[in-house]
Chains A and B, each alone.
Chain A
Amino acid sequence: MSLGDLQNLTILAVAQLGPEAVARQVRELLAQRVGREVAVPTIFVTLTRLEDQGLLKSVEGDHPERGGRRRRIFSVTEKGWAAVQATRAASERLWEGIAPQ
């Protein structure tokens, strides 16, 4: 399975965040570390679709902040790992033989 750029980045962000992988954190991580501003609905749509495809799974989390709402915490499934690794491998294979500019 080949992943889109945003999908790939989202799975990696979820993996990076571990138990803190909620929608807001994923969005903020992408903004800070990759410099990619993603609209709120977009991140929700992306997370939803990845879950539908079986690349991510989610559980109802506890209250991470006092008075905060219940949030959905995402984690990467086996299939998700396979997908990001396949994407990475594909990308690396293409990088091979390209001289650094």
Chain B
Amino acid sequence: MGRDSAAVSDPTWHRGRGRLRRWLAAWLPDTDWSDEFFEELDRDLARRAATKPGLGLTFWYLRQLLSPSTIGFVRASRARQQARWHAMGHARLATGLLQDLRQACRGLARDPWMAVLVVMTLAVGIGSVAAMVGLGQRLFLSGPPHVVASERVQRVFLTFDDAGGRRTSAWLPFNTAVAIRDSVDGFDGAAMYRRAEELADFGGRVRQVSMNAVDGHYFAVLGAQAAAGRFIADDDATDVLVLSERVAVEEFGSETAALGQTVRLGEYIGNVIGVAPAGFAGPDLDRVDAWRPLDVGAATGRNWWLFGRLAPTSETTRATAEAQAIHEAVDPGQFFQWARKGRVGMAGVHDDPTGERAAETSIAALLLGVVALVLVISWVNVLNLLFARVARRQGEVLVRLALGIGRWRLARLMLTESLLLSLLGGLASLPVAYGEGALVRNVLLPGVAWESAAIDTNLMLVTFLAVLISGVLLGLLPARHAHRADLSGGLSEARQGPSGSRARLQTVLVTSQIMLSAAMLLCAGLFVKSFWTMRVTDLGVDASVVHVANLRSLDAALGGGGDDEEARYVQALNALRRTQGGGDGGREVALAVGLPFITNFSMSVHVDGVEEIPQLHGGGPFISAVSGGYFEVIGTEIVRGEGISESDVATGARVTVIGESTARTLWPASDPIGQCARIGGPEAACYRVVGIAEDVNRQGYREPPSLQFYLPIGSSRAFRGPSLLVRSTRSGGAYESALAAEISSAVAGIDFIEVRRLDTFLDPEIRPWKLGAVMLTMVSALAMVMSLAGVFGVLSYVVAQRRREIGVRMALGATSRSIRGIVLRKGLVSGLVGVFLGFAAVLAGSRALAPLLFETGVADPLVMTTTGIGLVMAAVLACLLPATQAARVDPVTSLRAEP
């Protein structure tokens, strides 16, 4: 016992013994007396090891001490267990599977880092795919929620071909919309609606809601069913209202509690007759909070959106032709003659109201493709790791085969292992999917009506499928390899390193990984550049430092206080001017009617001596009525002359400031300053041009120049409903609510204040690029890290396998430097080839990619150079450690280590 304890006190002994035990356990079936066997073996080894003091009691030494009969025992135990399984008959398979599972767990536990790497890689791949499928499902895979057979629902719009190219408009004049709705035989039914933001009063709680005014066919054509109560029907009186599930629950506690309640929506008062199911937004993507019947009296003077359901026997082309014929026959009315130039078009509901495929949809489809690539990369990566592992376990596989394990059983074992890994990866992917889903929903697509939570049964199903596919795919190759393992050949290979074919396969795998991530990184770079180009586009206004305050009162909305409203704004303006310098060192405030990106007013403009003023592709003439200081506040530069001053407003001077393009178009030959523009028609008063301002984008980022006029506010009674502008470099929710609080305390009779930065009105336009840039960058960065981990893993493995060869080279006179060069070259070549192929793939797909980019070419030299150099450098970095390891190989040790 004394000698035993001498050995047992040696820490090397403990380690070696533990390893030995695990080594044996991997082969030995878990029989009822393997424990006793180990204990005896332990005692015996301790005794024998202690008789040879001075020798390190390492695993290898202990293993040498094992007699050949150990193997005999292991083999006998296995035979015994197999006999028992035979005896058990039916229970055999189940026990076998359980056994496999236990073995697989043990196998993974022996290689924990590999297992963690594989699980994480799979988690990212599977999680991203699941999240994007969730996104794609809402945007383009399945139709709008709760719409029956949405592929038969077609939007109707007008297209205009003019010198500036094709332009589409979702707006149809009332007469045209009604005629098409009621007379197209190709439709089973059609409905018209329009969307507006309204102030809603829920028994004292005031909030802004997104409201659709719909006709009586709207819900019937969509085929939706109410979650509670009923929907608006054709014969409904104009005092009914349908709420969304979200608003009903938030305001009244439950869907049924909302029924029968009275809600004021702007000037409209309605009783809630129904609640829409969660996620229902009609044919649109964006959230809708309430639906009210359209008011026929006011409807005729407005434009409408129209959609129809194709009759079972009808086709889009037939319905379009019929609608076109009706459009040509119907008089759109006095103010809608512009519509006559348009042709009727139709498109499915996945497209946005203008009939163009929504950019979100295209980018979501791209993202889905990209994350599918990520999954492929993660598979390739995992395959690499598994191959390296199979090679490392060659000895073990051979021992198993020598012990009489069936080849099929061995393959099954490998398959079990990969299924287990995929399952763990699938579990770990759920938080990834949830995180990515939540990011997309809350940050990138906040306005979209989501039907379900970020993780739902569909997502679980996708995850499960991905797990199954991953498990089988990743198990089959190594299993096939194991199945074909050849005792004699395998033994020599295990000693000499990977055979040519497998080394080639690994190189191909690594190169293809780099290729895929190069392609993704390039796409990401292009999107980032598009996004950036968009952000720095000169809009003519400083949209990122201007806040727009929207002051609203229910009384004004009821039509009682047009003048009140003006007065309130002036009061707020003065209050803010009084506190100037209070918070942020000189506050600049102004009022305007007609703001870029929010409201555009158009009137006819007449210039004496010109029959009809020319039109510009950007539209217009857009007219804004502004207070003094407007140009300074909003950041529009006056290029000549002067802006609208306080005294102009006070005296009601008939002066105007025009845009640069306007000046060039209307007075190409003469000096515009001092000229006269009749705003409102040939008989209107003459406004003298006093200044020229730089051109301003009126609708969004991409836009040709338009005709633009600025008048002093109050000079024309036509311009009502001003906005309050505050210029401040401060922003964020806290600043905006502080500003709102300050205004509401200074101004009486305000029920609702919303302060928003001007550029947030552009968000819907920039959203797809933001989505693309953020998601692509994130996902491709993940892919790059995965690929580099793959490069690193494979090269480390190759170095480990070729240790002996490197030793021989060094013994023959190779320097550390040249050895390092060999490894680095291998990585560099893979990197360069991968980057080249990846870029080539992107360029090949440029036709599909180009429309998704904003003023950025697919072959953008800056983006290409940056991503290319970055990726190659990262690949070299990933090779550096294996290269250094290789250079440090000691020829003496490496040659002695191998038999």
Please report A residues at the B interface, Cβ cutoff 8 Å.
Answer: 22-24, 27, 39-45, 48-49, 52, 60, 69-72
Contact = CB atoms under 8 A, between A and B. Distances in A.
20 contacts: A23-B36, A23-B40, A27-B40, A39-B67, A40-B70, A41-B67, A41-B69, A41-B70, A41-B74, A42-B67, A42-B73, A43-B40, A44-B33, A45-B72, A48-B73, A49-B76, A69-B36, A70-B36, A71-B36, A72-B32
A73 to B, nearest CB: 11
Contacts of A60: 32
B173 to A, nearest CB: 91
Nearest to A60: B32
Contacts of A44: 33, 37, 40, 73
B35 A45 contact: no
A17 B278 CA distance: 79
Contacts of B855: none
Contacts of A40: 37, 40-41, 44, 70
Interface in B1-60: 32-33, 35-37, 39-41, 43-44
B40 A39 contact: no
B169 interface: no
B80 A45 contact: no
A42 B72 CA distance: 8
Contacts of B76: 45, 48-49
Given A40-B41, A45-B72, A45-B76, 10 more contacts: A40-B40, A41-B69, A41-B70, A42-B73, A48-B76, A48-B77, A52-B80, A52-B83, A60-B32, A69-B39
B69 A42 contact: yes
Contacts of A70: 35-36
Contacts of B70: 39-41
A41 B36 contact: no
Closest 9 CB pairs of A and B: A41-B73, A41-B69, A41-B70, A39-B67, A42-B69, A40-B44, A40-B40, A45-B73, A45-B76
A54 to B, nearest CB: 13
B41 A41 contact: yes
B28 to A, nearest CB: 11
A44 B70 CA distance: 9
B403 to A, nearest CB: 13
B80 A48 contact: yes
Interface residues of B, number: 21
Contacts of B73: 41-42, 44-45, 48
Nearest to A58: B33
B69 A72 contact: no
A40 B73 CA distance: 9
Contacts of A69: 35-36, 39
Contacts of A39: 44, 67, 69-70
B421 to A, nearest CB: 33
A65 to B, nearest CB: 11
Contacts of A43: 40
Contacts of B33: 44, 72
B72 A41 contact: yes
A22 B69 CA distance: 19
Nearest to B34: A44
Contacts of B66: 41
Nearest to A49: B76
B98 to A, nearest CB: 21
Nearest to A43: B40
Nearest to B41: A40
Contact of B69 (A24, A27, A45): A45
Nearest to B75: A45
Contacts of B44: 39-40
A74 B32 CA distance: 14
Interface string B784-811: 0000000000000000000000000000
Name which of A41, A48, A70 has the most chain B CB atoms within 10 A of its CB. Answer: A41
Contact of A72 (B36, B41, B80): B36
Contact of A41 (B35, B37, B43): B37
A71 B80 CA distance: 19
Contacts of A48: 73, 76-77, 80
Contacts of B69: 39, 41-42, 45
A41 B38 CA distance: 9
Contacts of B41: 40-41
Contacts of B40: 23-24, 27, 40, 43-44
Interface in B79-117: 80, 83
Nearest to B70: A41
Contacts of B35: 69-70
A24 B44 CA distance: 10
Name which of B35, B66, B70 has the most chain A CB atoms within 10 A of its CB. Answer: B70
Nearest to A51: B80
B86 to A, nearest CB: 13
Contacts of A23: 36-37, 40
A43 B145 CA distance: 72
Contacts of B83: 52
Contacts of B43: 24
A88 to B, nearest CB: 27
A72 B66 CA distance: 23
A41 B74 CA distance: 9
A42 B83 CA distance: 20
Interface in B596-623: none
A60 B77 CA distance: 17
A60 B31 CA distance: 13
Nearest to A27: B40
Contacts of A71: 36
A44 to B, nearest CB: 5
Nearest to A41: B73
Contacts of B80: 48, 52
A10 to B, nearest CB: 14
A59 B66 CA distance: 28
Contacts of B74: 41
A55 B435 CA distance: 64
A8 B69 CA distance: 19
Nearest to A47: B33
Contacts of A42: 67, 69, 72-73
Nearest to B77: A48
A22 B40 CA distance: 11
Contacts of A41: 37, 41, 66-67, 69-70, 72-74
Contacts of A45: 69, 72-73, 76
A49 B33 CA distance: 14
Contacts of B77: 48
A58 B650 CA distance: 112
A71 to B, nearest CB: 6
Contacts of B37: 23, 40-41, 44
A8 B96 CA distance: 35
A52 B37 CA distance: 17
Contacts of B39: 69
Nearest to B44: A40
A86 B355 CA distance: 99
A91 to B, nearest CB: 26
A42 B41 CA distance: 11
A22 B35 CA distance: 13
A72 B35 CA distance: 11
A96 to B, nearest CB: 36
Nearest to A22: B36
Nearest to B72: A45
Nearest to A68: B39
Contacts of A52: 80, 83
Nearest to B35: A69
A89 to B, nearest CB: 29
A23 B80 CA distance: 18
A2 B43 CA distance: 33
A74 B523 CA distance: 72
Nearest to B40: A40
Contacts of A27: 40
A61 to B, nearest CB: 10
A94 B716 CA distance: 137
B474 to A, nearest CB: 36
A45 B67 CA distance: 13
